[in-house]
Amino acid sequence: MADLNTDIRSIKGIGEQRAKALNKLGIATLRDLISWFPRKYDDRRQARRIADLVPGESACVAAMIAAEPKVSHIRKGMDLVKVRAVDESGVLDITFFNQTWLKNQLIQGETYIFYGKAEGNLLRKTMASPIVEREGRGEFTGRIVPIYPLTAGVSQLILSRSIRQGLDACADILPDVLPDEVRQDHHLCRIGYAYENIHFPEDETALDLARRRLAFEELFFFTIGLQRLRNRRETVQVEPCGAVDMAEFYHALPFTLTDAQRRCVEEALTDMRSGQPMNRLCQGDVGSGKTMVAAACVYFCVKNGRQAALMAPTEILAQQHYNGLAPLLENLGIRCALLTGSTKAAVKRSIASQLASGEIDFAIGTHALITEGVEYADLGLVVTDEQHRFGVAQRAALAAKGQHPHTLVMSATPIPRTLALILYGDLDVSVIDQLPPGRQPIETYAVPGSYHPRVYNFIRKLVGEGRQAYIVCPMVEENDELPDERKAVTAYAQKLQAEVFPELKVAFVHGKMKAKEKDAVMAAFAAHETDILVSTTVIEVGVDVPNAAVMVIENAERFGLSQLHQLRGRVGRGKHQSYCILISDNQNEETKQRLKVMTKTADGFKIAEEDLRLRGPGDFFGERQHGLPGLKIADIGCDTQLLKEAQQAAEELLERDPDLRDHPAAAERVAELFAQASDTLN
Ligand code: ADP
Ligand code: MG
């Protein structure tokens, strides 16, 4: 087998059933499989004595089965295997749920390794459902064990065995796309060693070496891709936009733009008149009014006779932009359309043909805007909202739909410098450092779960006064599996409706819902047909319902500060005093500090700084959404030094070989990286 693109089915030891399970994780090829990196590692090298087990801590213990395992049937669907194990230091009582087959596998008098969380007290130690394996086997104990991100139906066991087989299948053929001189100059290990040890590290040193090599590689190719985009653009000349009387636009607005908004608009218009494509980032805290800055630019562009597109990261947000902007702009003679993944095929076709003919001036949508088959007559301006959800490659993909269109990137996230370098290294920056007048600061409280009754009463009171509430639903990770947001949200909403707020209207929304349903729920909430909206973080970005005055966030410890700030930004958008209640039972010092920051400040930039200080930049975008496609291992926050090195190496290589003619493998890797990034959106 010589190709990383081969289907996993052809790997020895991976049958149809296992392949199907792996497919669910998006693992289709050998390359996907070996690039499914662990999300963390457990050091299970040392076995402890039973007497040394600490309640609450996970550990390995080698112990002998002292008596026949006993099975008891608790109730339907719940069987218990109980077994007592011993070593020279003490006794450990172990229970397994619904694993009755273990009764015959655990043999009295034999020694096994158990890995699990110890419970009990000094006198009586217990363990529930530990991992168990025969002494000396060394698959899940006795070494540093990789822990993979999972989904239902795929276990750690399946993944780690499959990856083992995958690695064996390609041990000799893994191509090293990193130029050899770069690898040696930067003291990076070989590719085979890197893959082996990122999955099955011999020790910490080997893991560090592997991680360093793979992270470097990602950053290196990412930088090369960026640099090439930049080089291409710098040589580009476009026809300068002509002057437009903006007064008509400003008069049509229901309010006066703030000075900061005006300044951003001016900066953007100056770019568009310059004869070079605009590449501008408009950064402003939640609620600072970025949408109107975008609208002004769209107006300017369309009045110059060209088309504009605005891409939002979610359907809800695209819909909302459409609802907000279309009436305003249509009144000014601009023909608008909404194009998302859930737009009906026939409508989509008609919009596509009108975009191609130029009958539509302004398209608002999701990544549907950049899918194949959507062409523009003359795309002059591309606006992307809440940029960190996309990344450079998507921006490039939309820009590629026009002849060097101007691009405006809107972001509410204050970005640390290193991150900015990667995400927006090539952008000019405008900052909206002022909120529209009349905003009342949001009162923020951090409380423990025992406050639930009080929180519910508070919501009841506010709803009684005519306000609405958001509740971000608790979501607990179970058994290493990604939490099922659908179940969590539905169950919590039902419980609230039935037991807590029978007299109010509780609605819910989550990311797994069909876009249509989502929109309907959001529209009903915006129209005040419902009082309380239970949701996941799908409402995190951008949604605007001015009558919502309270945001309750359950399990607040799960979120990064910046994410909490974004969530909080969903309230306080109208004239009513608004509140944010952060609920957490987490006693962790760091959590407490973080939540305290939220209660003390409303300044997004300050919060971002604190976030970095307290958690390290890795968590900047929350755990699963760092929004940089292609970067699986590198942590652009923590790997600052490595990033610098990789950037330098990339520059040097491009100086020697600007078109990567002597490095075809590298060229291919870059192309792949950027192509993959836009694929993930389709
Ligand atoms: P964000 O920067 O978070 O995207 P939005 O553009 O959604 O903020 O604006 C937040 C709210 O403030 C919207 O309801 C918008 O209509 C309103 N708004 C924007 N600019 C002004 C302004 N200059 N004066 C008053 N209200 C404004
Ligand atoms: Mg916005």
Q: How far is the CA of 602 from the centre of ligand 2 (A)?
A: 17
Residue 637 reports pLDDT greater than 90:
no
Higher-confidence residue of 222 and 63: namely: 63
Question: Closest ligand 1 atom to the C-alpha of 290?
Answer: 2
Stretch 164-178: mean pLDDT, rounded?
88
What distance lies between CA 264 and its chain's CA centroid? 28
- Any ligand 1 atom below 6 A from CB of 436: yes
Rounded to whole angstroms, how far apart are CA atoms 171 and 161?
15
- Any ligand 1 atom below 6 A from CB of 291: yes
Output the CA angle 320-326-328, nearest 5 degrees. 115
Q: Closest Cα to atom 27, ligand 1: which residue?
A: 436
Rounded to whole angstroms, how far apart are CA atoms 289 and 608?
19
Confidence of residue 387 (pLDDT cuts 50, 70, 90): low
Least confident segment among 67-81, 300-314, 601-615: 601-615
Q: How far is the CA of 296 from the centre of ligand 1 (A)?
A: 13
- Any ligand 1 atom below 6 A from CB of 544: yes
pLDDT at position 1: 46
Q: What is the three-class DSSP state of 147?
A: strand
Confidence of residue 461 (pLDDT cuts 50, 70, 90): very high
Amino acid at 531: D
Higher-confidence residue of 479 and 149: namely: 149
Q: Dihedral (C-alpha) 261, 262, 265, 271: value to the nearest 10 degrees?
A: -130
Domains of the chain: 1-40+150-174 (1.10.150.20), 46-142 (2.40.50.140), 247-275+288-411 (3.40.50.300), 443-601 (3.40.50.300)
Q: How far is the CA of 286 from the centre of ligand 2 (A)?
A: 7
Residue 625 reports pLDDT greater than 70:
no
Residue 619 reports pLDDT greater than 50:
no
Q: What is the mean pLDDT of the chain?
A: 85
Q: How far is the CA of 385 from the centre of ligand 2 (A)?
A: 7
pLDDT at position 402: 77
Our mutation pick for probing the ligand 1 site, out of 249, 255, 435, 540, counting the most ligand atoms within 8 A of Cβ, is 255
Q: Quickly tell me which residue has 């599996």 as its tokens.
A: 481
pLDDT at position 677: 44
Least confident segment among 21-30, 47-56, 96-105, 135-144: 135-144
Confidence of residue 429 (pLDDT cuts 50, 70, 90): confident
Our mutation pick for probing the ligand 1 site, out of 261, 285, 288, counting the most ligand atoms within 8 A of Cβ, is 288
Question: Closest ligand 1 atom to the C-alpha of 291?
Answer: 6
- Any ligand 1 atom below 6 A from CB of 287: yes
Stretch 137-144: mean pLDDT, rounded?
81
Q: How far is the CA of 610 from the centre of ligand 1 (A)?
A: 26
pLDDT at position 154: 81
Rounded to whole angstroms, how far apart are CA atoms 358 and 76?
64
Higher-confidence residue of 338 and 591: namely: 338
- Any ligand 1 atom below 6 A from CB of 257: yes
Q: Which residues contact 464 (CB under 8 A, 6 or more apart)?
A: none
For 77-96, give one letter per residue: b (16+ CB within 10 A) or e: eebbbebbbebeebbbbbbb
- Any ligand 1 atom below 6 A from CB of 125: no
Closest-approaching ligand to the CA atom of 284: 1
Stretch 277-286: mean pLDDT, rounded?
86
Higher-confidence residue of 615 and 341: namely: 341
Residue 194 reports pLDDT greater than 50:
yes
Q: How far is the CA of 253 from the centre of ligand 1 (A)?
A: 11
Residue 620 reports pLDDT greater than 50:
no
Q: How far is the CA of 560 from the centre of ligand 2 (A)?
A: 19
- Any ligand 1 atom below 6 A from CB of 289: yes
- Any ligand 1 atom below 6 A from CB of 412: yes
Confidence of residue 382 (pLDDT cuts 50, 70, 90): very high
Q: Are 470 and 535 in contact (CB under 8 A)?
A: yes
Q: Answer whether 0.85 is exceeded by the pTM.
A: no
pLDDT at position 435: 86
pLDDT at position 681: 30
Question: Closest ligand 1 atom to the C-alpha of 257?
Answer: 23
pLDDT at position 613: 64
Q: Are 448 and 584 in contact (CB under 8 A)?
A: yes
For residue range 85-100, what is the model confidence (pLDDT) as tens digits?
A: 999 999 999 999 888 8
In the chain, % of residues over pLDDT 70: 88
Residue 537 reports pLDDT greater than 90:
no
Stretch 44-56: mean pLDDT, rounded?
89
Question: Closest ligand 1 atom to the C-alpha of 261?
Answer: 23
